Chain A
Amino acid sequence: SQTIHQWPATLVQPVGSPLSLECTVEGTSNPNLYWYRQAAGRGLQLLFYSVGIGQISSEVPQNLSASRPQDRQFILSSKKLLLSDSGFYLCARDSQGTRSEQYFGPGTRLTVT
């Protein structure tokens, strides 16, 4: 089966601290990968997507960055967290066929204090 792992599951970080969230995908090769943020009571905001190793497209200019060092690994980072970075971060992959539907990981809940 194709599984998405995310860690950590929850994280509490002070303002100004760095961030690294990891996403790994099993059971598929060359997936398109996505990072979303979901703020409380709001929809899903696409942050980054990647079509391959080292290829990152940014959707929203902000203090976050993403990297894809391996085919099945996608990392979300920040050098200095802001209060507004709090939220639920979701990694997703698309389907192997039509590439239209997306499947999500379990998410990381980030609280910036």
Chain B
Amino acid sequence: QKEVEQDPGPLSVPEGAIVSLNCTYSNSAFQYFMWYRQYSRKGPELLMYTYSSGNKEDGRFTAQVDKSSKYISLFIRDSQPSDSATYLCAMSRTGFQKLVFGTGTRLLVSP
């Protein structure tokens, strides 16, 4: 079993839809959780960073961590064609620990 599981997609939605992207993990020691956006042929860009459980909101993006279920989510409101990219989740146990990445979910937002 992989430490971090992420559905590869692709997930296709119309413009304006609410998007939900998810990762599950097996290691209960993970405390730091990140979401990255990666456009084709570009380096990943850090979108959201959360520590421990709870929600964090930044504009159209909301990151949610449920440590009891070992489940993290990224919600995108009012999705735009420019949101079309691969979204990677990542997590680590403590500061300066190796990040463990999901394989990424490809999102396609059609106009």
Separation in Å of the A99 CB from the closest CB of chain B?
A: 4
Residues of chain B touching chain A, judged by Cβ–Cβ distance below 8 Å, are 8, 32, 34, 36, 41-46, 49, 51, 88, 90, 92, 94-99, 101-104
How far, in whole Å, are A49 and B102 apart by their CA atoms in the complex?
19
A61 within 8 A of B: no
B49 — nearest CB in chain A belongs to which residue? Answer: A101
Q: What is the CA–CA distance of A106 and B46 in the complex, to the nearest angstrom?
A: 13
Residues of A within 8 A of B (CB): 4, 32, 41-44, 46, 49, 59, 88, 90, 94, 98-107, 109
Q: Tell whether, in the assembled complex, residue B101 and residue A43 are in contact, meaning their CB atoms are under 8 Å apart.
A: yes
CB closest chain-B residue, reference A49: B98
Highest count of chain B CB atoms <10 Å: which of A41, A102, A105: A102
A100, B98: Cβ atoms under 8 Å? Answer: no
Give 12 pairs: A residue, B residue, CB < 8 Å, sorted on A. Answer: A43-B101, A43-B103, A43-B104, A44-B99, A46-B99, A90-B43, A94-B96, A100-B96, A102-B34, A102-B90, A105-B43, A107-B42
Give every chain A residue within 8 A of B95 (Cβ-Cβ): 98-100
